[in-house]
Amino acid sequence: MAGIVGYGVYVPKYRIKAEEYIKAWGNFAADGVKEKSVVGCDEDVVTMAIEASNNAIKSAGIDPKNINTVYLATTSAPYAEKPSSVTVAAAIGAEGDVRTADFTTSTKAGTAALLACLERVKSDDSGRCGLIVASDAPAAAPDSSLEHALGGAAAAFIIGKKNIIATIDKSYSLSMETLGERFRKRDEPYIRDLELRVQHLQNAITATIKNLQKSLNLEPKDFAYVVVQQPDGRAAARIAGKLGFSKKQLSTGNLAEYTGDVGAASTLLSLAAVLESAKHGEKILLASYGSGSDAICITVGAPLAAPKIEIKEYLQNKEYIDYVKYLKLKKVLSTFRT
């Protein structure tokens, strides 16, 4: 038996409000997003992952030497070749006989890495733990409407066999070929989307959630919380509503309203928020998306003993910036190249 033994998040301090986009462009294309988190000039996916991972290690109360797996999920790693998971492992003190891997090229990478980490810990008899961290800050061209929703954040989970606070009961995965939807070719800095008005997101999540519910013989009312991939502030509510979930079940884990689209970190950041409020015995249904979907059923066990930095703190500790500062922090106005 393996499960979640600790978790931690990181949300950068800077925020930009929808109004700033309206001032700059005349519109704001991210449905339901009031403000979004902005990665600082000296931050990236790696530095956010380190912060979230250290918070998770503290909450689990483990020695980082007791970690033998470090999986990083992201669509926007600083290097196309050279694993960022290794930098994270070195920074948390888990270097040496550690299995590392980067899970990437899809916003579904977070759940893919979580499931891989669970399977790794389950099949490992060393008694050591796994760390899975989803950290993302997707970028699109500043003159594309796709760019408006994109934020940044990280969420980390320690997977182990002792002192489990939540079990990962079952999952259902779907692979779905998509064309022209959220892609970035090698050597391109920005994601693109041809906005073909397809229903892939809704169809994939509906399929995985329905199949998982069927296999567990559960209905929407059996879950205290539902978490759905959040490309904006409204999509998750629309899909969850059609599947028979209430606003109450969704609202705790619907964070894009305040963070924007955090890509591969979306569902796991929301899972961390839900775990902070969930009580013993409650069930969480989570479904990611990105050319397919992973739906996961999680049951909450004992509460965390060790102190942790709550996501609320990160969401409250913020500094608003204007659009020009935003462009500077994103280095859109920088011509510096190394």
Partner 1 sequence: MTSYISLPSYLNTIDQRYRLIGKKCKSCGTVNFPPRVMCIECGGRDFEDIKLSGRGKIHAFTIISRGSAPSEFDDQQNMTGEFGVAVIELEEGPRIIGQLTDCDPNPEKIRIGTEVRATVRKLYEQEGVIRYGYKFTPV
- Binding region for partner 1 (CB under 8 A): 13, 40-44, 46-47, 50-51, 78-79, 87, 90-93, 319, 328-329, 331, 333-334, 336, 338
Q: Report the sign of the C-alpha dihedral through residues 102, 130, 60, 160, in that order.
A: positive
Tokens encoding 302: 């004992």
Give the DSSP H or E segment for 120. Answer: helix 109-122
| Nearest CB to partner 1, comparing residues 56 and 240 | 56
In the complex, the smallest distance separating the C-beta of residue 320 from partner 1, rounded to whole angstroms, is: 13
Q: Which residue type is seen at 254?
A: N
Instruction: Work out how close the CB of 60 gets to partner 1 at its nearest, in angstroms, rounded to a whole number.
Output: 17
**CA–CA distance, 212 with 222 (Å, rounded to integer):** 13
Question: 191 φ, ψ to 5°?
Answer: -75, 155
- Tell me if 61 sits within 8 A of 107, measured CB to CB: no
| Nearer of residues 84 and 213 to partner 1, judged by Cβ | 84
Q: How far is the CB of 334 from partner 1 (least distance, A)?
A: 6
41 versus 305: smaller Cβ distance to partner 1: 41
Least separation in angstroms between residue 333's CB and partner 1 is 7
Q: Least distance (Å) from partner 1 to the CB of residue 50?
A: 5
| Identity of residue 71 | Y
Name the minimum Å distance from CB 337 to partner 1: 9
Find, among 128, 92, 134, 90, the residue nearest to 112 by Cα: 134
Instruction: Measure the CA–CA gap between 301 and 74, rounded to whole angstroms.
Output: 28
248 versus 312: smaller Cβ distance to partner 1: 312
**Cα angle: 256, vertex 4, 283; to 5 degrees:** 65
Q: How far is CA 130 from CA 6, 45, 228, in A?
A: 11, 19, 24
Q: How far apart are the first and last CA of the chain?
A: 47
Q: For residues 189 and 287, what is the distance between their CA atoms, to the nearest angstrom?
A: 27
- Residue 143 identity (one-letter amino acid): D
Please say which residue, 302 or 332, places its beta carbon nearer to partner 1. 332
Residue number, 81 or 125, with CB nearest to partner 1: 81
Residue with token string 């294309």:
29
Nearest approach in angstroms of CB 52 to partner 1 is 12
Compare residues 87 and 230 and give the one whose CB is closer to partner 1. 87
